[in-house]
Amino acid sequence: MAKHKGSMIGYARVSTTGQSLAVQEEKLKDCDKVFKEKRSGLDGKRPQLKACLEYLREGDTLVISRIDRLARSTVHLHQIAEDLRQRGVELKVIDQHIDTSTAQGKLMFSMLAAIAEFETDIRKERQADGIAKAKANGVKFGRKNEFTDELIEEMRQKRSEGVLIKDIMAEYEISKAHLYRLLK
């Protein structure tokens, strides 16, 4: 049986459906096959990444535009990289000029992975600080309560008269959890 020649397999991802994959697709145009998806890396559910990783064979090279398109964290990135290494698959990151087929590429890969995680942590801290500041300034988060005090009192009255929870839920078109919160 002839040994697999090796293909260039691309993976492109944007975080939201409103973003375009066009820039990444252009960078991956020389790949033999490109897996694409529009999903956040944080939810962990990336079916196209899973399919891409399963598709790769010994001798292939996984090509991505930037390191942060591939993994949720440094640990996750290193898990993917180690899996690829064990399977004889190289990793090429276009924007950061990383090619794990070289010693320098492996070193640069590790350094950039650590920096990417650090940047993500800093961004999360800033976001948390912004939310805390907004709350301190009286900004309310979450959905607005569509039920007035009168409607809530009406629900309480019905419940005290023995009306079943399921009937109140149906009448006001709310979930059981939401109804119990309102009745508290």
Question: Catalytic residues, which ones?
Answer: 15
Kind and range of the H or E run holding 33: strand 33-38
Question: In angstroms, what CA-CA distances link 48 with 27, 29, 180?
Answer: 18, 18, 40
User: Is there a contact between 39 and 69 (Cβ–Cβ < 8 Å)?
Assistant: no
Find the angle CA(18)-CA(19)-CA(21) to the nearest 5 degrees. 135
Q: In the prediction, which pLDDT does 42 show?
A: 62
User: What residues does each domain of the chain span?
Assistant: 8-117, 149-183
Specify which residues 62 forms β-bridges with.
9, 91
How far apart CA 15 and CA 128 sit, in angstroms, is: 20
Specify which residues 61 forms β-bridges with.
8, 90
We find that the CATH architecture of domain 8-117 is 3-Layer(aba) Sandwich (3.40)
Q: In the prediction, which pLDDT does 101 show?
A: 82
Q: pTM of the predicted model, to two decimals?
A: 0.59
Q: In the prediction, which pLDDT does 3 show?
A: 54
10-residue averages of pLDDT along the chain (184 residues): 76 83 93 90 78 95 90 79 91 88 82 76 88 89 79 92 92 89 87
62-89 b/e (C-beta count within 10 Å ≥ 16 → b): bbbbbbbbbbbebeebeebbeebeeeeb
Residues 66-111: pLDDT tens digits?
Answer: 888 888 777 788 888 889 989 999 999 999 888 888 888 878 877 8
How far apart CA 48 and CA 34 sit, in angstroms, is: 10
Q: In the prediction, which pLDDT does 74 show?
A: 72
